[in-house]
Chain A
Amino acid sequence: MDYVQNAFYDASNWNLENSYSQLTATARALLEFETPRGFGLSVSSLSSPNFATSYAIGSVGLVDGSLSYLYSSLPLRPASQSANIELEDVIRGYRQIQELRKHKHSWEWEQWHAGKRIDKRDTLLYGRLYLPQSTLEALYLRRLTPTQQFKLSAVSDGRLRNGGTILALHQYDVGKYCAESLYSTDGGLVGIRGLYNFGPDPRKGITEPPRTEDRFYGRFSAGAEVYYGSLNKSGGVSFGGRFATLPAHNGTPLTATLTLNPLMGNISTTYAVKAGRNLALCSKFDFNVYSYESDLMLGCELWRMKAKAEKIRVRSMAAKLEWRLDEIEKKPISEPEQVLGVLKARVDQNWKIGLLWEGKVKELLFTLGSSIDMKRTDQPFRAIGLELQYSS
């Protein structure tokens, strides 16, 4: 479902990464991945370009499951067969941030027919029902203009106070900067966050070619967020900055972030580097200046590519008939390698280890994971899980 949602963002030209909440997406993907628990199976289908369904069943002690439906007013045509899905699109790993794109002008969306505007706003509707718990999730996403998006998400659950919560989020993204404001009915939480990208402004067009000769060619972004719970009179503030190399950088891609929480005295730094074509490393260090607590986390991601068996060169029959050698082929264009799987591992200072293996077996996407606590020698395996996904 996330895959389909991302397809919607792509189709509607929305840059999901240009948001303050996605500042540390790379580190989160490498360090805070979720390890599955128990056994899970989900079957999804994109029955039409506008409609997708998914059914999931899982067993963690007892069996539970969920039904979800998605409707998009914008036709989506991602590769939906699980056999054809590229793992890179599904697995969140090291995120290479892209050059900022220029948004269309709002008049480019306008469609006129017979003197009337007939263009419609792209909309995504999504609902998910968790069965034994009777929890309902709903999402309403609407692109207001090429630079604005409105997202309304709600959860209905009898166990929650007031029976559920609603979160409204408005995003305004012009590329150079992005501003978001949100409101949650739970505690009356109001929040504002913003991100500013230093460097060239995409709205003015690319004025200079990528300076690939620089040692680092990247982008620095800074942002802040403020929350205030109007009902419980509490709040939170944080500042953050990120430097990341852009695709044009011809050195080792890296991403470094620094976030500060001045109220709680928390400093967090992450550093992620794509050390090779198949390897990404990440470290995170947290420190609290008030309590002197610190935390260190290391993680890595290893992509396993399908080793192509080299074709044995045999003289072709045609060549034999003509009493000549085959022409020496030019170095074949390296076909995009197929990803066999991804191994993710993380370890923190308490010797808690998380392992995740994601891959594809025939038509199935599988996720195999375990979390291990080395401090508890008697029972080191805290959780083991396997998830299978099939989609058509």
Chain B
Amino acid sequence: MAFNFNWSPLTADAEFYKRAQEMLTTALNKSPKPPIIVDDILVNELNLGTTPPELEILEIGDLAEDRFRGIFKMCYSGDAFLTLKTRVQANPLNTYLFSKPSFTSPMPLAASSGLTIPLQITLSEIKLSAFIILVFSRQKGLTLVFRNDPLESLKVSSTFDSIPFVRDYLQKEIEMQLRTLMMDELPAIIHRLSLRLWCPEYGPKEEEEAVNIENKEKEEVAVDPFSSPPQDAVDARGNVLDANEITSLSLDGGSEIHSLFSQKNLLRLGALNDSHRTLSLFTPSIRDAVFRAWAGPTERGDSVGTSTPVTPSLLRSHSYTPSSSTTYTFSRNSDDGHGHMPSRPSLVSMHSATTGLSLGSGRHSRSHLRKKKNRVVNLRKSTTTDDSASESGQSEASAAVVSEPAFPTQVEEEPEDNIITPPRSPSGKVRFRTSSIDLGDSPRKSRISTPIRSALSSKPMPEEAVLEPAPVIGNMEPTAPIFSREHRPSMVSANPVSEKKPASASVSQPAKHNPFLAPAPVLTEPSPGGIIEQAWVMKMAGEIARRNHDEKAARGGFWASQDTREDSPPPAYEPKAL
């Protein structure tokens, strides 16, 4: 087994930093501050640097699809730095009185009047060395514990460096704060994040937040990506595609897309959809994840994706029958050298609903390819989100009702437990279904299943998000099969709105939707997309890797320095659309 951790995407993602800064700010202000600090601590600047931490797997105690327990050894001595801003009380008498009982206070008249001074602190040369115990279970979320004090040393430089007394004091105080942060706060935050990702029950709490996001998102106009071809389509290697190529790609992509879905799931989804129509009480259970490996070759029989009418069975099409539906296919197999050129550009807009079959076909090729690929742990879940997003977009186009925000929740549900029960009333549930269905239809689904968590985290991913990342990523990782991006591009082109964004906003998009996790997944996909696919192929490996990623990602969110993984990259993709 091998794990592949991407460090650089993290650092390349502006949105990730933004979110990480927000999270750090909240974390730092949570614990009671010493009286000398009179204002909130703001994280002004954060850079993870270019040196990744070294991660060593010491022990894996438990390993299953929904469980993982292991011990890691982590060493970090990189060039990450962190700049904090706050205001301090310069009057020693003021701070002296602060914590003293008023009964014995000398009650100075004005000698204790305060003088607050803005202070800027830069933490650099952070050296960490820790044993990390990581326990993951789908029900209980992710628990990460430092077995020892992870902080080895760090350098504190501040506005008051010229005054040795103050400098020493700051150094001491900050080390102390940092230790408590890492030992106490960090595990709690990671746990919370993981719960958010994996536990649907946890979702409602966030629902409110999501609503806010939704409101913003609603403002965005749902655009049918397919309506217009991607303007700046790029193939996996970053070459610009001309219109013809694009069309061809789309076809190929379509097939690939199919490949992404496992037949079983497709069938189940189909059954699910049918049940809605037939009033059948049987609800097919769809396991949390669909692994590509499961996909049988038979599936590929599917016709080329583009717009085979066949799909409809699976597709939500029943309900929506979108005039023009978009399917995003991400072909990962760049490696394979598949017949599909840039299979990745999977995003295909199908006027009629895509056929499940077509998708299946896609898988075939991919699945084969995938196996070949190295496993890369990917945070991709984002891809799922993308898909959902795209789907949503479609649905929206047809129904125009669904708001993106809904997706995230949907995504969560799908992955975990069986897909939502069919019986729902069309109106209320439509969203979910669509999402679920879409997922099933589209390759994403498979992704979703595995990467779901990440996807979950990223609630509403705008379609745009998808678009952006692709080009860059492709360039970056030549070896990896990274087609996902292409898909996005296609999508981008499809959506007028999205088109604009991709170029400029590739990074930013995800951020707005889900400050927390959501964006990440999407982002990840594009760059690491190829990798992700591979990961899926290897269920076990993939799963583990993801967990690791997640953990790391979570960590990264927190603590920029610590992140090893690329998971964080997903954030980079955050949707700029907002």
Tally A-B pairs: CB < 8 A.
103
Knowing A187-B96, A234-B96 are in contact, say whether A167-B116 is a contact too (CB < 8 A). no
A242: shortest Cβ distance to chain B, in Å? 10
Complex formed: what's the CA distance from A182 to B104 in Å? Answer: 11
Return the CB mask of A212-246 against B: 1 if under 8 Å, else 0. 00000000000101110100101111111000000
Do B109 and A24 have beta carbons less than 8 Å apart? yes
A56: shortest Cβ distance to chain B, in Å? 15
Do A260 and B110 have beta carbons less than 8 Å apart? yes
Q: Is A21 positioned at the interface, with any CB of B under 8 Å from its CB?
A: yes
Do B108 and A238 have beta carbons less than 8 Å apart? yes
Which chain B positions have C-beta within 8 A of A225? 108-111
Q: Is A12 positioned at the interface, with any CB of B under 8 Å from its CB?
A: no
Do A184 and B111 have beta carbons less than 8 Å apart? no
Residue of A at shortest CB range from B92? A234
Which chain A positions have C-beta within 8 A of B243? none
Do B93 and A266 have beta carbons less than 8 Å apart? no
| Residues of chain B in range 83-103 having any CB-CB distance to chain A below 8 Å | 90-93, 96, 100-101, 103
Which chain A positions have C-beta within 8 A of B116? 291, 293
Of the candidate stretches A42-50, A89-97, A154-162, A331-339, the one touching chain B is A154-162
Of A23, A189, A229, A264, the residue contacting B113 (CB under 8 A) is A264
| Residues of chain B in range 102-132 having any CB-CB distance to chain A below 8 Å | 103-117
Of A167, A239, A260, A290, the residue contacting B105 (CB under 8 A) is A167
Of B91, B107, B113, B117, the residue contacting A268 (CB under 8 A) is B113
Complex formed: what's the CA distance from A160 to B92 in Å? Answer: 18
Interface size on B, residues (CB 8 A): 22
Which chain B positions have C-beta within 8 A of A237? 111
Interface centre among A139, A166, A167, A235 (most CB of B within 10 A): A167
Complex formed: what's the CA distance from A47 to B384 in Å? Answer: 78
Do B92 and A238 have beta carbons less than 8 Å apart? no
Do B114 and A266 have beta carbons less than 8 Å apart? yes
Complex formed: what's the CA distance from A294 to B383 in Å? Answer: 52
Complex formed: what's the CA distance from A154 to B103 in Å? Answer: 8
B484: shortest Cβ distance to chain A, in Å? 41
| Residues of chain A in range 247-282 having any CB-CB distance to chain B below 8 Å | 259-261, 263-266, 268
Of A20, A166, A187, the residue contacting B109 (CB under 8 A) is A20
B108: shortest Cβ distance to chain A, in Å? 6
Complex formed: what's the CA distance from A137 to B103 in Å? Answer: 7
Complex formed: what's the CA distance from A21 to B100 in Å? Answer: 18
B217: shortest Cβ distance to chain A, in Å? 23
B412: shortest Cβ distance to chain A, in Å? 28
Which chain B positions have C-beta within 8 A of A184? 104, 106
Q: Is A15 positioned at the interface, with any CB of B under 8 Å from its CB?
A: no
Complex formed: what's the CA distance from A153 to B103 in Å? Answer: 7
Which chain A positions have C-beta within 8 A of B91? 236, 263-264
Which chain A positions have C-beta within 8 A of B101? 135, 137, 155, 157, 160, 165
Q: Other than the known A135-B101, A238-B109, A286-B113, what 4 A-B pairs have Cβ atoms closer than 8 Å?
A: A153-B104, A229-B92, A260-B110, A263-B91
Question: Which 6 pairs from chain A and chain B are nearest by CB?
Answer: A236-B111, A234-B92, A238-B110, A236-B93, A259-B110, A266-B113
- 9 pairs, CB–CB < 8 Å, chain A vs chain B: A21-B109, A153-B103, A167-B106, A186-B100, A189-B96, A189-B106, A225-B111, A266-B115, A291-B117
